[in-house]
Amino acid sequence: MKDDSISSSCKSVLNSKSKDETLANFAKWEPWHGKFGLKYPWTKYLQVGELLRELATIVISLKGCLQSPRQPSWSLRQSIEEPSEAVGLTLAWSLRELGESLVKMRRCNREAVIIPKLKSMRLELSSIVSPSKFGPIENVDGLAIASFVFLLTEMIEKLEELAKEIEELGELAGFHAK
């Protein structure tokens, strides 16, 4: 995805709150249908939207980290490139999996599939900033790496929350199993 496309997507998500609330409010007034009657779990959709907005702010912060004029040394960046890419790919996969779950109205398998991958990525990130690898994080290079890893860790935590909310939504809304 292009850099501008990521920014515009994140900004679109950040500006979606009032639209989401309006749509949910109108949907509550729809005629009775299905097993829910007038009690479809629209508030869960709003909670999912809020978590997506929080994720978008983290993505924008990560972009700022990567585009900062003050970058760590080339050798330090090289040392975290591979694990960071692995984490990024897992995060993207997890988001796609959760998105498909919503679009196809099927239950996500959070405990069996998503959470173990995210926990593995968390361990991978903790090994990146271990004191044995960089020594004490006192200089600007170390702080830049620590900030980057912190944001990736925050993203993992938000994705875990998002997976939980989507799983609960699937149960409440009666999403079908895979």
Name the domain count of the chain. Answer: 1
- At residue 148's C-alpha, the angle toward residues 146 and 152, to 5°, is 115
**How far apart are alpha carbons 160 and 136 in whole angstroms?**
30
Q: Does residue 32 form part of some domain?
A: yes
Q: Does residue 67 form part of some domain?
A: yes
Residue 139: pLDDT band with limits 50, 70, 90: confident
Q: Does residue 43 form part of some domain?
A: yes
Q: Does residue 63 form part of some domain?
A: yes
49 token code pair:
């939207």
Averaged pLDDT score across all residues of the chain: 84
Residue 92: pLDDT band with limits 50, 70, 90: very high
What confidence score (pLDDT) does residue 36 get?
A: 58
Residue 106's nearest CA partner among 98, 118, 114 is 98
Reported as a single tens digit per residue, the pLDDT across 6-22 is 788 888 888 888 888 88
Q: Does residue 53 form part of some domain?
A: yes
What confidence score (pLDDT) does residue 10 get?
A: 85
Predicted TM-score (pTM) of the model is 0.84
Residue 170's nearest CA partner among 118, 117, 97 is 97
Q: Does residue 178 form part of some domain?
A: no
Residue 129: pLDDT band with limits 50, 70, 90: confident
